[in-house]
């Protein structure tokens, strides 16, 4: 059985960020990816938004890692020439009953350390975006968009330049905890076993599955997994907006919002549904409910302008109807196994927080951060 130093399971944006940090700290790193390329899972089905950190519960990992990761990521993109735009976001109240909610959102955002949040009148908002309809708005200049594939390519390049190796078509089927390390059973065309000193579980939708298959890890430490599917529709033609447009949040989500990509394309979503197994088909009929929601802030949306775009699945570490959970980053202090860190529930803002999540994972690995603590 071959012995290795560090294994990172999953080559999405967070796995690549973790592998980069490990390799650049001098560790030998093998990245194990089940698919035939990196970044083809959750990371390939992202809105590519760089979030400011506005909505997350105060003091949560999501709130703190989003702000820290956002700042790290903007610096990294500038240094590496990765495509991005600090385009900003407008949060809009479309009726008087929502006006007070804007002030609550602004207060919460400032408490989260988001930075500059501007209160706008209807006239000020429409000066920025003439086709926008609202009674008032908030402007978040720190929100942006990014070329997520370019980011992952750069993270992988950094990791490989520091000696890391990416092994695609290498699904991890399970393993066991031993006195000398963690044995990983690699399936695929050439099944084999590896003995790793360190394992970082960044498997996304498969994180709980791997953890449950790891003999020696207490099942009580593994959270549940539920699939929340978000359906997105694209706009035929270009949108007359230069910023992201979000309605005031609704119970259960952020409402149908407008995001842009670096090419100027526009997408609307999500339309969330809980599903029993991964399914990425977007039903065109679901667009019907989008039109009314979008026309609340963009009355000029043409008929028949929405086309099925993509679906993304968020790995929720709680069941439908249960309280929402934070990011879960379990190190030896949580489960008692030296050399193992498991990341669960890494959904939005996982892309924005990726560099900060990598730093936290390394701190958890050496026991320098308790659960819920960040750098």
What is the per-residue pLDDT across 98-146, written as a single tens digit (0 to 9) for each? 999 999 999 999 999 998 899 999 999 999 999 999 999 999 999 999 9
Q: What pLDDT sits at residue 113?
A: 94
Taking the CA atoms of the chain, what radius of gyration do you get in angstroms? 21
The structure tokens listed for 269 are 């979503």
Q: How sure is the predictor about 375, in pLDDT bands with cuts at 50, 70 and 90?
A: very low
Q: Looking up tokens 């609307």, which residue turns up? A: 268
Rounded distance, CA 228 to CA 276, Å?
9
Strand, helix or coil for residue 220: helix
Question: pTM to 2 decimals?
Answer: 0.96
Cβ distance 175 to 184 under 8 Å? yes
What are the residue boundaries of the structural domains of the chain, listed by start? 2-46+149-223+323-365, 89-141+226-316
Least confident of 185-194, 262-271, 362-371: 362-371
Picking from 356, 107, 112, 87, the residue whose alpha carbon sits closest to that of residue 246 is 87
The structure tokens listed for 154 are 């750069």
What is the per-residue pLDDT across 307-323, written as a single tens digit (0 to 9) for each? 999 999 999 999 998 99
What is the DSSP code string of 334-372?
HH--TTEEEEE---TTTTTTHHHHHHHHHHHHTT-S-TT
Rounded distance, CA 114 to CA 71, Å?
10
Q: How sure is the predictor about 372, in pLDDT bands with cuts at 50, 70 and 90?
A: very low
Rounded distance, CA 11 to CA 153, Å?
11
Cβ distance 292 to 299 under 8 Å? no
* Beta-bridge partners for 330: 342
Rounded distance, CA 341 to CA 362, Å?
8
Rounded distance, CA 167 to CA 363, Å?
25
**Is 238's pLDDT higher than 80?**
yes
Mean pLDDT, all residues of the chain: 95
Residue 198, by phi and psi: left (phi above 0), alpha (psi -120 to 50) or beta? beta
**Is 243's pLDDT higher than 50?**
yes
CATH architecture of 2-46+149-223+323-365: 3-Layer(bba) Sandwich (3.50)
Q: What pLDDT sits at residue 368?
A: 58
Q: How sure is the predictor about 247, in pLDDT bands with cuts at 50, 70 and 90?
A: very high
CATH of domain 89-141+226-316: 3.30.9.10
Rounded distance, CA 278 to CA 316, Å?
13
Rounded distance, CA 363 to CA 358, Å?
9
Q: Looking up tokens 């929720």, which residue turns up? A: 316
Q: What are phi and psi of 105, to 5 degrees?
A: -65, -45
**Is 369's pLDDT higher than 60?**
no
**Is 81's pLDDT higher than 60?**
yes
């Amino acid at each position: 059985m071959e012995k290795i130093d560090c294994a990172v399971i999953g080559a999405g944006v967070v796995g690549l960020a973790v592998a980069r940090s490990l390799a650049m700290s001098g560790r030998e790193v093998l990245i194990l990816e089940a698919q035939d390329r990196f970044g083809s899972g959750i990371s390939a089905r992202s809105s590519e938004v760089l979030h400011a950190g506005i909505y997350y519960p105060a003091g949560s990992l999501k709130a703190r890692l989003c702000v820290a990761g956002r700042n790290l990521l903007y610096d990294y993109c500038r240094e590496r020439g990765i495509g991005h735009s600090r385009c900003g976001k407008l949060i809009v109240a479309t009726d008087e009953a929502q006006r007070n909610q804007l002030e609550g959102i602004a207060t919460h955002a400032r408490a989260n350390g988001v930075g500059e949040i501007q209160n706008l009148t209807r006239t000020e908002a429409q000066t920025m975006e003439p086709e926008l309809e609202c009674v008032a708005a908030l402007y978040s200049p720190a929100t942006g968009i990014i070329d997520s594939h370019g980011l992952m390519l750069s993270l992988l390049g950094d990791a490989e330049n520091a000696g890391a190796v990416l092994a695609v078509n290498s699904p991890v089927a399970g393993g066991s905890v031993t006195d000398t390390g963690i044995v990983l059973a690699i399936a695929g065309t050439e099944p084999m076993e590896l003995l790793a000193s360190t394992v970082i579980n960044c498997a996304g939708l498969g994180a709980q599955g791997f953890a449950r298959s790891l003999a020696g890890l207490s099942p009580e430490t593994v959270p549940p997994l539920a699939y929340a599917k978000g359906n997105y529709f694209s706009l035929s033609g270009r949108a007359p907006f230069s910023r992201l447009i979000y309605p005031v949040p609704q119970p259960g989500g952020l409402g149908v919002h407008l995001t842009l990509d670096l090419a100027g394309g526009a997408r609307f979503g999500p339309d969330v549904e809980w599903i029993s197994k991964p399914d990425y088909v977007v039903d065109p009929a679901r667009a019907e409910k989008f039109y009314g929601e979008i026309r609340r802030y963009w009355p000029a949306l043409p008929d028949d302008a929405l086309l099925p775009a993509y679906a993304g699945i968020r790995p929720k570490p709680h069941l439908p109807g249960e309280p929402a959970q934070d990011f879960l980053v379990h190190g030896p202090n949580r489960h008692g196994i030296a050399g193992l860190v498991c990341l669960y529930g890494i959904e939005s803002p996982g892309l924005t927080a990726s560099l900060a999540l990598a730093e936290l994972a390394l701190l958890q690995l050496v026991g320098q951060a308790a659960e819920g603590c960040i750098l």
